[in-house]
Amino acid sequence: MVQCYVAMNCKLFAFSFVCFLLNAVSGDVNGPLTPDFQNWLNNNGYKSYDYPRTDFGAKGSFGGRQSASDKINNQPVVFIHGNSDTALTTGLSSPGWEASISYFLSHGYSSAELYATSWGDNSALNAASRTHDCDTVIRIRKFLEAVIAYTNATKIDVITHSMGVTLGRKAIKGGQLKTSSKTCNLGSALTNQVDTYVGISGANYGLCNCEGGSEYIEATCSGVNGFWPGNSCGFNMLDCGGVMIPCGEPTYSSFLEDLNSDPNKEGTYIYSMYSLMDEVIMYECQVWGRPTPLIPGSTGQKTYATYGHYETKSLTADDQYNMVVNHAQF
Ligand SMILES: *[C@@H]1O[C@H](CO)[C@@H](O)[C@H](O)[C@H]1NC(C)=O
């Protein structure tokens, strides 16, 4: 199946249209959250979050027991998608987690052990306006809490992609979230409840496409709570994807600075995955001489030579499985 994805980078009005062969995404997985989980959410104060997201039909969410007698044997996995994406496949720039969920289902997991919901809408045209705001981070945080409580799990695994990497890291680390419009408190860290955290193609040190004036124009590039990578560090001016001229530490957005210096870990095992040909992050994923998808404190990492931004999640379900189940070393 040939499909075209519209990948938006952060420069205003700049879009790159990326077409590629897509052979592993169509897992034909359908949600939404099961009636058992939906009833539990409604009875436990989560109704207002609309986690089923049935505005996307069967594709807005996934997870839950089919029947109240279903047993949970595997550590539950929560999947967090990125900007313009959705829980399952809803469109050209929204492949969702179908490939991963399909793989886990065929390797002994049940729907009571795999969870995803959607945040935001799925229009690539709105990508520049989405950022790490209180509503979105709290939405993800409460979903993690709901899955832990509903499944009675001692620990869960969390697999994230793109902007979902930094949203999920903050949701787990908790504490104060300062945005351009307000400050909110997320509660204490969930570190002890997370076994493995997988971050695929994230922007933990910002995005080079956000340097220069973008920090003032686009919410997603905000110097407060977006992907601003800093634009000056000694002689390093507007060249974040190039070779860094030594100058000490560049300054990223306050959100990323706080996230990367917070000593609370994302989980016992932390994995970072990315591709050198990522067409959204670009520059072989380098930001001021450092791979931006690499989560500080990672216990393992895997890089790919040729995958695109969405393929790093859609074609790597086996690696994701090996990370959360076997704590694989690469
Ligand atoms: C979690 O524990 C509660 C209370 O013991 C129980 O009613 C519920 O069925 C359990 N849920 C699962 C998924 O095992």
Q: Is 172 helix (H, G, I), strand (E, B) or coil?
A: helix
Asked if residue 229 belongs to a domain, the reply is yes
Name the residue at shortest CA distance from atom 4 of ligand 1.
Answer: 152
Assess whether the C-beta atom of 34 lies below 6 angstroms from ligand 1. Answer: no
**CA gap 260, 36 in Å, rounded:** 38
Q: Which segments of the chain have a pLDDT < 70? A: 1-27
Name the residue at shortest CA distance from atom 1 of ligand 1.
Answer: 152
Number of structural domains (the chain) is 1
Name the residue at shortest CA distance from atom 12 of ligand 1.
Answer: 151
Contact residues for 147 (Cβ-Cβ < 8 A; gap 6+)? 63, 76, 78, 115, 153, 156
Q: Residue 307 is part of a domain; what is its CATH number?
A: 3.40.50.1820
| pLDDT for position 215 | 82
End-to-end distance of the chain based on CA atoms, in angstroms?
Answer: 31
Asked if residue 12 belongs to a domain, the reply is no
Asked if residue 66 lies in contact with residue 31, where contact means CB atoms within 8 angstroms, the answer is no
| pLDDT for position 27 | 63
| pLDDT for position 101 | 98
Assess whether the C-beta atom of 151 lies below 6 angstroms from ligand 1. Answer: yes
pTM: 0.92
Domain containing 111 equals: 37-326
Asked if residue 31 belongs to a domain, the reply is no
Q: 151: CA distance to ligand 1 center in Å?
A: 7
| pLDDT for position 175 | 97
Name the residue at shortest CA distance from atom 11 of ligand 1.
Answer: 151
Assess whether the C-beta atom of 67 lies below 6 angstroms from ligand 1. Answer: no
| pLDDT for position 19 | 31
Assess whether the C-beta atom of 152 lies below 6 angstroms from ligand 1. Answer: yes
Asked if residue 85 lies in contact with residue 125, where contact means CB atoms within 8 angstroms, the answer is no
| pLDDT for position 26 | 53
Asked if residue 9 belongs to a domain, the reply is no
- Return the ligand 1 atom nearest residue 151 CA: 13
Asked if residue 233 belongs to a domain, the reply is yes
Asked if residue 270 belongs to a domain, the reply is yes
Assess whether the C-beta atom of 72 lies below 6 angstroms from ligand 1. Answer: yes
Asked if residue 24 belongs to a domain, the reply is no
Asked if residue 286 belongs to a domain, the reply is yes
| pLDDT for position 251 | 84
Phi, psi values for residue 244, rounded to 5°: -80, 130
| pLDDT for position 68 | 95
Name the residue at shortest CA distance from atom 9 of ligand 1.
Answer: 68
